[in-house]
Structure 1
Amino acid sequence: MSKIQLTLKALNKRVDADGLLEVQQEDGGVEKVEMIFNPPATEEELQKLPFIVPEDYKEFLRLHHGGLIFNHPKYGAGFEFFTVDEILEHRAIPGYDYPDNWFPIAYGYDGCYLIVTDKWVGNGYLYVMDTGYNFEDDMFIGMTFEDWLEKFILAQGSKFWEWGFRIPPILNFQSDENY
């Protein structure tokens, strides 16, 4: 079983009969959020994509052709995975000149786009871009879609890619006569 399948299977075990998942938010509150996945994409739909689709992302589309996850039933603000047609629509918005190899595949949290590129850099090919379409302020997150999805679910829908990580100071064990 692939990482995508394992991640989604584990998630589905925790979702209740109403499609809701109880999560602890970063502010400490506990809420139930919606986990909605669309039926699979067809091969005809996948053929519409004008770029080489990474295998893990293609597998996700074959399982779920879009969806909406970690969405509050009353207040919204979830993360929406686009269908193929929605990817093409977002890519073609007039005035937003994405670089040639950038394709928005998801949107969430009032302006955060998840971008697939056709270039593998380091450990992945994903970027995150905030609304405003400022390509100079994009954030390469250096992971594959399957790694991103797993971490996103483990982080309970939080923007884990923005978390600061504490780096301990360099310890200096040389003796100092002043002590």
Structure 2
Amino acid sequence: MLIKKTLDNLKQQLKKNNNRLELIFSKGKVITVGCSFNPPADPEALKQVQENNDWDIPKDYEAFLLQHNGAQLLQAYLGDMNIGGGLILFSLDEVIQAHQNLSMDHMFYPIGMVSEEYLMVKNNKNTPNYLYIEYLDPAPLNMNLELFVDRYIVSSGDIFWEWPRLDAINYYKFYSTFK
């Protein structure tokens, strides 16, 4: 699966560079990032979560959980201090806890956070584009997890899903507020 290949290659690059990478971010800014990966999920626990919650866990998300039961990708560092950010993919326990804390219905379940918004799976076995962002008013991302992770890494952790809305006029308006 693409997600395994993407994460394995990311880990190889991290290993070559003392577990850190320097990335070129928006507006030419260079940031140092690191990643951490949880051990694999227990296949039996994964099956229990699916059955107990009546969730359809997509194949690529299942492959991720069986490789890493959660991960923190491209988190920013200031010297040796992790200052956060990046993409946080929840462990199974964190998925269940977040679902309960957010008092969500059966239609969606949260699998992580990015840019202070929840990444959500739409609980529907028939859609390959199951990934949504934000839990109050879920917006479709028109992709699955492995495409999202691949594009997130290739874009150096930028908000690539909003790029179509950031034309030449909106880009400068948006980024002028961060000067």
After superposition, what is the alpha-carbon deviation per residue over 1:108-132, rounded to whole angstroms, capped at 9, x for unaligned? 32x2111011226765100011xxx
How many residues matched? 158
Percent identity, aligned pairs only, is 28
Is the Cα–Cα contact under 8 Å of residues 66 and 81 in structure 1 kept in the other structure?
Answer: yes
TM-score, scaled relative to structure 2: 0.79
In structure 1, what is the Cα distance between the partners aligned to 2:8 and 2:136?
Answer: 36
Is the Cα–Cα contact under 8 Å of residues 21 and 35 in structure 1 kept in the other structure?
Answer: no
Which residue matches 2:130? 125
Counterpart code for 1:29: K
In structure 1, what is the Cα distance between the partners aligned to 2:94 and 2:36?
Answer: 16
Which residue matches 2:99? 91
After superposition, what is the alpha-carbon deviation per residue over 1:8-44, rounded to whole angstroms, capped at 9, x for unaligned? 1221222145321221111311111011111111113
**Structure 1 unaligned residues grouped into runs of 5+:** 168-179
Which residue matches 2:113? 107
The answer as to 2:74 corresponding to 1:70 is yes
TM-score, scaled relative to structure 1: 0.79
Larger radius of gyration: 1
Which residue matches 2:170? none
In structure 1, what is the Cα distance between the partners aligned to 2:127 and 2:108?
Answer: 17
User: 1:67 offset after TM fit, Å?
Assistant: 1.2
Matches within 5 A, 1:16-165: 16-49=16-49, 50=53, 51-73=55-77, 74=81, 75-93=83-101, 96-109=102-115, 111-119=116-124, 123-129=128-134, 133-135=135-137, 138-164=138-164
Is the Cα–Cα contact under 8 Å of residues 66 and 80 in structure 1 kept in the other structure?
Answer: yes
In structure 1, what is the Cα distance between the partners aligned to 2:120 and 2:109?
Answer: 5
SS in 2 for 1:143: coil
In structure 1, what is the Cα distance between the partners aligned to 2:166 and 2:108?
Answer: 31
Is the Cα–Cα contact under 8 Å of residues 39 and 64 in structure 1 kept in the other structure?
Answer: yes
SS in 1 for 2:64: helix
**Structure 2 unaligned residues grouped into runs of 5+:** 168-179
